Amino acid sequence: MQNITAEELKTRLDSGETLHLLDVREPHENAEFNIGGILLPLGQIRSAQIDKIESLKAEEVICYCRSGNRSGQACVLLDSLGFSNTRNLTGGMLEWQRKF
């Protein structure tokens, strides 16, 4: 797992780069505000229900949550399941909304 800042992510999104974003928050949090990631709450990763992202094992996957804690856990879990390039959005959506 590596970290990515809100500024780095925004720059990459604004440049039109195709990114694999994974929102590990709960559905109600995603409905309030999101940046377009695949919704897969942390509890579903823990229970190994990752079929919809299995094809991304060799790709960069950027995880985000509210503050960066759950997404950090998600990166560690994904790494243990064979994902080779996970990144955690430091500060999560709180930092994103504060800056943008």
Catalytic site residues?
Answer: 65
Largest Cα span, the chain: 35
> How many residues does this entry show for the chain?
100
Q: What is the DSSP string of 59-92?
A: SEEEEE-SSSHHHHHHHHHHHHTT--EEEEETTH
**C-beta of residue 64 within 8 angstroms of C-beta of residue 93:** yes
What is the spatial distance between Cα 48 and Cα 18, in angstroms, rounded to a whole number?
Answer: 25
The amino acid at 31: A
